[in-house]
Amino acid sequence: MKTTRLIIVAVGGQGNLLASKVLGQAALLSGVPVRMSEIHGMAQRGGVVESAIVFGDASSTIISDSEADVLVGFEPSETLRAMNKCNAGTTVITNLAPLPPFTVAIGRGTYPDLDQVQDLIKAKTRRLIAFDAVERATAAGNVMSVNIVLLGALIQTGILPIPKENLVEAIRTKTKKAFVDVNLKAFDLGFIAAANA
Amino acid sequence: MHKLLADSPGKKMLLLGNEAIARGAIEAGVAFATTYPGTPSSEISLNLFRVSHESDLYFEYSTNEKVALEVAAAAANSGLRTFCMMKHVGLNVAADPLMTLAYVGVKGGLVILTADDPSMFSSQNEQDNRYYGKLSGLAILEPSSVEEARQMTAEAFDLSEKLGEPVILRTTTRVNHSSAFVELGKITPRKIKGDFKKDPFNFVTVPAVSRRLHVRLLENWDKAQAMAETSTFNFTDGNGTWGIICNGVSYNYVSDAVKDLGIADKTRILRLGFSHPMPPNLIKAFLNACEKVLVAEEGEPVMEEAVKAFAQEAGLTLPIAGKGERLFSRLYEFDPAMVRRVMAGYFGVPHAPSQPPDLSDVPEIPQRPPNLCAGCSHRATYYAVKKAAEGRETIYPTDIGCYTLGFLPPLAMGDFLICMGSSVSTACGFSKATDKKVIAFIGDSTFFHSGLTGLVNAVYNNHNFTLVILDNGTTAMTGHQPNPGVDMSNLNLSGYGRISIEAVVRAIGVEHVTVIKPYKVNKSIEAVKAALDHKGVSVIISQEMCTLYARSLKKLNVRAFTVTDKCKNHRDCINQIGCPAFFLEGERVQINPNTCVGCAVCAQICPENAITPVKAKKAG
């Protein structure tokens, strides 16, 4: 089976580990081999959290620079920072709602202009899907569902060998019961956002 | 029921490598487990800790790795299957018992897990603990994947019992922190009560006994070597003449590269999972079938040097390479593209790697370093010490934990760190060797781990420094494990003792001891000033529960603060304490009410008293 390599970058607390778990479960339901890796520990104290998910026939659990087929960024400046994982054929999906790092507040860096971020990514990759996932998550009923909104967009692209219904089933079984309805709505809103992008 | 206790062989479960390892131990009928937490090993013990609450598994968080291994050594020599887990540098702490336990051996299976951390994602060095196999004479198993981690852990117990020796299970971060679907095996029932049969001429390592035991250890080495020759963990893929010898995660990258480069018909891979002692016959036969060989191993050239020596013994002169220019580095972890590139280069295979995008026009993106959490009590303590020490020339030895992050600006409190406990002992050295005021920082768990002996040294040798013990009531960095100072009733656990840090410090003979509440800024500054004025050893114990931990215990009473229009934009709040709850809106400072926990430290330092609690919404 063809290998598809997905990188998810997020800021600690944005729920990318849950997103990976849901994708893993959906892969199992789809009969697709999956391996993933993530960075724990000190990186989780407000730093960047990166997950690599490899679908298909591969033994590696990490993804080298310039070898991601898809990059999903939960925060726009982190999406841009992870561009080293992309190549000209990569599809990039990013949330456009910024979470400026603290270094900006103490004057040690300037947050990049969002239009420039999008122009740069567009120019260097196959396709960019960019929208405000926080807005969609809020509309779905929980600002914390940004991760599921972005999974909706990811599945819409059809790049992963995972049918929509299996991802929906994974949301039902792997996210907290109280949030399943909100998450299903969040998934749909992300799916629609990508379809309209 | 804990998911790792599921008695459903054949079931497939998405597991983290560390969960798979814990499951492997459970399947082997592990009865006794000890550890000191350390990333990337921590989730193994965290899972076994939870499992122990639901089963008759004995589990303990020991005070440090040396203690953990000694406790384990006794259990294993009472016939129990025992598991002792630690991060790679933890094995340095446990090296003393390790070396002689290898002489004494074990009765019940003892598996010692060392989690190495190539690239140092959360460690102070990237030492290659495979050398401990050679140093101690013990067998090493190294899994390549999450699935194999389960199987190897389970079989390591059998191997240990066959050899009558502890077995080292060596992982790296990318095994510990990768996830995959794992097929569960059968759970062997635990034997939870052991017995110790007196045999002092085999157990009491006086020189006359040890001279004999060393002979036995070398015999066991030979036995292990013979087993490595036929172990199923050592296998070959392919029948070509381009040889690749690899271990651990390198095997994954090599396998993928063979496929990607389309050279499966030309290559022959030897994967060594039972990697110490190395099997000479297997390796010589492999070399004989190859025209050239590449050794792919992260870290040091451990296998490469051994393979070259075996080739010499066999009179073989084929090219054998591993580390070197345009080959593999001794630095950092490997990745698939790098292994593919080195293989393509070494074997002369055409190769078109993916082209990275030109990022020269991307503006500098502001860094996002890890940071102390909003409202973290360490920040408050650092601020108080910094204020109290104003006007003095200082050296701040620090230690290992979340609080290490205090070395970053704007706090910039941390000047020297080498290992667990080094804050206290290096403070002894700096205070004698220089005329500067030395103020050392150590966390509660690290203090029990290896700060105590340094403090005894300081009092005994009459050193002159201030030690600040940052007591946040948990071992925060590794995931909120308990330690000897923790109130276990917070975890709904009974039957534990609790050691008062203050009582210990006083008992050691420290004359100037003060307990502070760091959120009370001015009082804390005054207390630290008094401690700094004291000649000799003074200790400040700064007590405030970790906010993340308090939140998880539902003990955090959040009352967010806000910046009112009294603010004159001095920005002391941001520039001096750097709490991540602050952000700038235009040129104005704001507080994120969802992040702020209401520690009120910023409110106390604002020169305009412009920071106040968010007013509760009026009813109706």
DSSP labels for B119-132?
Answer: T-SSSS----TTHH
Q: How many CA atoms within 13 Å lie on the side-chain side of B29?
A: 15
Q: How many CB pairs under 8 A join A and B?
A: 185
pLDDT tier at A43 (50, 70, 90 boundaries)?
low
Let me know whether B455 and B581 are in one domain: no
Chain A: nearest CA to B584, how far in angstroms? Answer: 6
Cβ distance B145 to A84 less than 8 Å, yes or no, reads no
> pLDDT by residue (tens digit) across B161-189?
999 999 999 999 999 999 999 999 999 99
> How many other CB atoms are there within 10 angstroms of residue A31's CB atom?
9
Minimum-distance CB partner of B366 among A41, A103, A120:
A103
Let me know whether B88 and B194 are in one domain: yes
Residues of B in contact with A60 (CB under 8 A): 249, 252-253, 256, 335-336
pLDDT tier at A102 (50, 70, 90 boundaries)?
confident
Structure tokens at B219: 């015999």
Among the candidates B167, B199, B229, a domain finishes at: B229
Among the candidates B331, B347, B363, a domain finishes at: B347
Residue recorded with tokens 């940052």? B470
CA distance A120 to A118: 5
Let me know whether B387 and B293 are in one domain: no
Could you give the C-alpha distances from B215 to B104, B105, B137, B464, in angstroms and in order? Answer: 11, 12, 11, 48
pLDDT at residue B369 in the model: 85
Task: Spell out the residues 6+ positions from residue B157 whose beta carbon is closer than 8 angstroms to its own.
Answer: B25, B28, B29, B30, B81, B109, B111, B167
Cβ distance A84 to B359 less than 8 Å, yes or no, reads yes
Minimum-distance CB partner of A106 among B14, B336, B410:
B410
> How many other CB atoms are there within 10 angstroms of residue B456's CB atom?
14
Chain B: nearest CA to A197, how far in angstroms? Answer: 23
Domain of B269 in residue numbering reads as: 233-347
> pLDDT by residue (tens digit) across B345-367?
999 999 999 999 999 999 999 99
Q: From B584, which residue of chain A is nearest by alpha-carbon distance?
A: A105
Let me know whether B533 and B513 are in one domain: yes
Let me know whether B224 and B237 are in one domain: no
Identify the H or E element spanning B616: none
Structure tokens at B180: 């995959």
**Residue B336 is assigned to a structural domain of this protein:** yes
How much is the ipTM here? 0.96
User: Do residues B47 and B22 make contact, with C-beta atoms less than 8 angstroms apart?
Assistant: yes
Q: Does the CA dihedral A113-A115-A121-A124 come out positive or negative?
A: negative
DSSP character string of B381-423: HHHHHHHHTTTS-EE-B--SSGGGGGGSTTT----B--STTHH
Closest by alpha carbon to B241, among B308, B287, B296, B295? B287
Contact status of B536 with chain A (Cβ, < 8 Å) = no
Let me know whether B488 and B456 are in one domain: yes
Residues 216 through 245 of chain B touching chain A, CB cutoff 8 Å: none
Residues of A in contact with B247 (CB under 8 A): none
Let me know whether B414 and B395 are in one domain: yes
- Inform me whether the pLDDT recorded for A42 exceeds 70: no
Angle value at C-alpha B48, between B42 and B50, nearest 5 degrees:
105
Could you give the C-alpha distances from A49 to A42, A75, B363, B367, B549, in angstroms and in order? Answer: 10, 11, 21, 13, 20
B340: domain CATH number is 3.40.50.920
Tell me the domain boundaries of chain A.
4-103+111-195
CA distance A159 to A152: 12
Q: Is B35 helix (H, G, I), strand (E, B) or coil?
A: strand
**What does the CA dihedral B242, B245, B251, B257 come to, rounded to 10 degrees?**
-20
Residues 144 through 173 of chain A touching chain B, CB cutoff 8 Å: none
Query: B365, B572, B576: best mutation site toward chain A, by most A Cβ within 10 Å?
Result: B365
Q: From A117, which residue of chain B is nearest by alpha-carbon distance?
A: B362
Chain B: nearest CA to A146, how far in angstroms? Answer: 16
Cβ distance B121 to A39 less than 8 Å, yes or no, reads yes
Among the candidates B510, B530, B550, a domain finishes at: B550
pLDDT at residue B305 in the model: 98
**Residue B372 is assigned to a structural domain of this protein:** no
Could you give phi then psi for residue A186, rounded to 5 degrees? -60, -40
Instruction: Name the CATH superfamily, with its identifier, for domain A4-103+111-195.
Output: Pyruvate-ferredoxin oxidoreductase, PFOR, domain III (3.40.920.10)
In chain B, the percentage of residues whose pLDDT exceeds 90 is 96
Let me know whether B162 and B102 are in one domain: yes
Greatest distance between any 2 Cα atoms in chain B: 92
Cβ distance A60 to B336 less than 8 Å, yes or no, reads yes
Cβ distance A109 to B335 less than 8 Å, yes or no, reads no
- Rg over alpha carbons for chain B, rounded to the nearest Å, is 27
Residue recorded with tokens 């303590």? B381
Cβ distance B252 to A88 less than 8 Å, yes or no, reads no
Let me know whether B30 and B62 are in one domain: yes
CA distance B86 to B74: 18
Flag residues of chain B having pLDDT under 50: 618-620
